[in-house]
Amino acid sequence: MAKFKKLFTSESVTEGHPDKVADQISDAVLDAIMAQDPNGRVAVETFVITGQVHIAGEISTTCYVDIPRLVRQTLRDIGYTRAKFGFDADTCGISVSVDEQSQDIAMGVDKSLEVKEGEITAKDEIEALGAGDQGMMFGFACRETKELMPLPIVLAHRLTRTVAAARKNHIIEYLRPDGKAQVTVEYDGYKPVRVDAIVVSAQHADGYPVDVIRENIISHVIDTAIDGHLRDNDTRIFVNPTGRFVIGGPLGDAGLTGRKIIADTYGGMARHGGGAFSGKDPTKVDRSGAYAARYVAKNIVASGLADRCELQVAYAIGVAKPVSIFVECFGTNRIEEDRIAELVSAHFDLRPGAIIHKLSLRRPIYRQVAAYGHFGRPDLDLPWEKTDMALVLREAAGIKIDEEKFPLPVFT
């Protein structure tokens, strides 16, 4: 009997995809407020459709932000500057419906249950803040790539970034902002061995035959983004498989904040709590808790305690301390998972205020991750991607690890 191949697929989309347009607008608003009022509370959703942008949500801030101007600038940066591209930053209609954050939510965030019940006396924000909502967040890391991310999502993001670069640098003149990519990787156990299939769909100007588009995408995008040793003669390549992708962006499909949470995270390789990131200030644990969970999981893998690690953290609204912490290493751990969980509790403060302080989250750093993934971004200096706790965990575990096989990553 022939051996059944174990295949896993992840998807990424370009910054011009309608859902990513919405994410970037939401985070552009957040960044503008964080730049002037680091303590501002923001929960903004964006909806885009043919010729229209609708922004709604809750904002409590001491500053003024010209939201329509931010919307138009974000659309220009993405590349939607002409109606024939599917959207025009200068002529689209913009509506804004924003209210203040609910006082019922605010009183739980401003003063945690622990403070209210007298368990602690709040001396600063670290001790005072309660979680901005209930929910569970997941973080993940593995040794498949130097980013400690799953290979399929790393390659998918690399493809979409290369498509965007080919458009912006006029390498392929006829490309338009919308696009997506998908990569299927064959695994032997947890080890990736080859790329089985590549799918790239790129929006383009009218009048270009699919064979020309295919040739250009393969030579300027796929050959650039995916190393030849990962592909073989059996790797299947699909470029614009429908044969035409002229109508794109919000003209072709509606876009909404928070609809690409799998592309934002681990490409489906890890579980997801369901909460989106974009448009939310760091008091919302959907965002800060997920960033902290990635930071912890990455340091566990970087330390050599496990080759794969998934961490779940759960919160109750208005309560600072997590209600649960769960560690899963999929049989790759070198000490007991219970012991790893104890090390997490001992060396990582996962209260919302402590996360915000440790990762310096009250800054305008969010729009840059609203496209091409929030994790595994070597092009950005993201605090939750640092491995500065790896040596601490290794020493606290009290075990000897082969330094050649499991070296500590270099970090600054």
- What amino acid positions are annotated as catalytic residues? 17, 19-20, 45, 58, 180, 245, 253-254, 259-260, 280, 284, 286
Going by the DSSP 8-state scheme, the letter that residue 280 receives in this structure is B
Cα(23)–Cα(373) distance, integer angstroms:
11
The three-class DSSP label of residue 15 is coil
DSSP string, 340-387: HHHHHHHH---SHHHHHHHTT-SSS-SGGGSSS-SSS-TTS--GGG--
Residue by residue, DSSP assigns 107-148 as: HHHHS-HHHHTTSS---SHHHHPPPSS-EEEEEEEETTSTTS
Give SS3 for 20: helix
* 57, 193, 286, 311, 402 from 153: Cα distances, Å: 30, 15, 21, 19, 29
For residue 368, give every residue at least 6 positions away whose Cβ sits within 8 Å of its Cβ, in sequence order, or none. Answer: 380
CB-based contact 285:35 (threshold 8 Å): no
Q: What are phi and psi of 300, to 5 degrees?
A: -65, -45
How far apart CA 174 and CA 26 sit, in angstroms, is 28
CA distance 186 to 192: 6
Structure tokens at 175: 């490309």
